[in-house]
Amino acid sequence: MKLNKEIKNRIDQYFDGIESEELYSIAFGKYGFIENIDFEIDNQSFDKVGQNFYCPNSDNSLDTNDMESLLLAA
């Protein structure tokens, strides 16, 4: 699914402003995610988690106000 710039910006702002604890609470409380804690982590090493960003090489957004830019199904 391709998003226009306005929707993408709104999604980015939402995730920029939410704390991990709040996102966890929403995922499990509101959307019914199931927490699986049945695994053993003793005596295991872990790598540090880094932050990755998706940066597209081109702008694939659509102008929904311009009918010529929209793909039409037959």
pLDDT higher than 80, residue 1: no
Task: Specify the residue for token string 């980015």.
Answer: 12
Residue ranges per structural domain of the chain: 5-69
Q: Residue 69, Cα to own-chain centre: how many angstroms? A: 25
For residues 61 and 5, the answer to whether their CB atoms sit within 8 Å is yes
Distance CA 2, CA 29 (A): 28
Model confidence, pTM: 0.40
Q: Which tens digit of pLDDT belongs to each residue from 4-46?
A: 888 889 999 998 999 989 988 888 888 888 888 887 777 888 7
For residues 61 and 8, the answer to whether their CB atoms sit within 8 Å is yes
